[in-house]
Amino acid sequence: MTAHKPTLLISNVLPSRPGDPMYDALIMCLWERIITAASSSWNIIREYAQLDGPEGIPLRAHEADAIIVMGGEDVHPSCYGKSQGYEDEGRHWLRADHAQLALARYAAATNTPLVGICRGMQILNVAFGGTLTQHIESGEHNNPLILEDRIFVRHPVTIAQNTQLASIYPGHERLDVSSAHHQCVEELGTDLAVSARAEDGIVEAIEHTRLPILGVQWHPEDPAAPIGDLEAILEYLRMSRLHQEPATLDAAQRQIAA
């Protein structure tokens, strides 16, 4: 008898970015890496936040046993009380921002395990009332010589002990990660805790203090990331879902409306 496979929703900003083919190719590579790694153990829902919008999130997310929010463009600063015009500002997709913020709040309302990657971690922080530093100069976190994609820089992070993140990487106080970001967590959101920092003090991972919700600023799905990094994240989601309580669509819709 074949065991029932759980369902993993993977949220991307857009299905394609025809105006930016190099960046589109990068995002699609990372997207396919997650799908390939997960498909043997999970049924996959491909979710495009700009298309679904916040109104489409409850029905889409209700089908999911776990969620990944991928990396992508900067979150619009209006979502965290700041203004446009900052250094290296790119294009924003405000409808996608609102959809993924709703997705994070859905996960909290329904105890659905969620991992946010890069932009996805920043979405988590903003969803819980946090703010972002709009531009960091440090070359430790991105490669300024690669203007199109700023990909990728390897650097160490220190993991806070007695955290969910520490349970994903048992026995590791430090971890080499593959990183590419020019923004970072500034003020931490409510009920969130820092679970990893870079050597310069920048927050590299956050997690909810009570729920199976976690964000990493690095890219475990980068093809050059340490072996087993992405698989460890997927295993965290698999184990977390075993302890989740059933979600209700009514609860999700009330949370989105709020």
Those residues with Cβ within 8 angstroms of residue 224's Cβ, 6 or more apart along the chain or in another chain: 152, 154, 178
Tell me which residue of 148, 154, 126 sits closest to 220, measured CA to CA: 154
Q: Active site residue: 118, 155, 204, 207, which one?
A: 118
The residue among 55, 57, 54 whose CA lies nearest residue 45 is 57
Say whether 221 is catalytic.
yes
Closest CA relative to residue 62, chosen from 100, 99, 107: 107
Length of the chain: 258
- Residue of 47, 204, 207, 221 marked catalytic: 221
CB atoms within 10 A of CB 248: 12
155, 182, 208, 219: which is the annotated catalytic residue?
219
Clarify whether 118 is annotated catalytic.
Answer: yes
Q: Are 154 and 220 spatial neighbours (Cβ–Cβ below 8 Å)?
A: no
Contacts of 28-37 with CB under 8 Å at 24 or more apart are 29/223, 30/70, 30/71, 30/219, 30/221, 30/222, 31/70, 33/221, 33/222, 33/223, 33/230, 34/10, 34/68, 34/70, 34/221, 34/230, 35/10, 37/221, 37/230, 37/231, 37/234
Residues labelled as active-site residues: 118, 219, 221
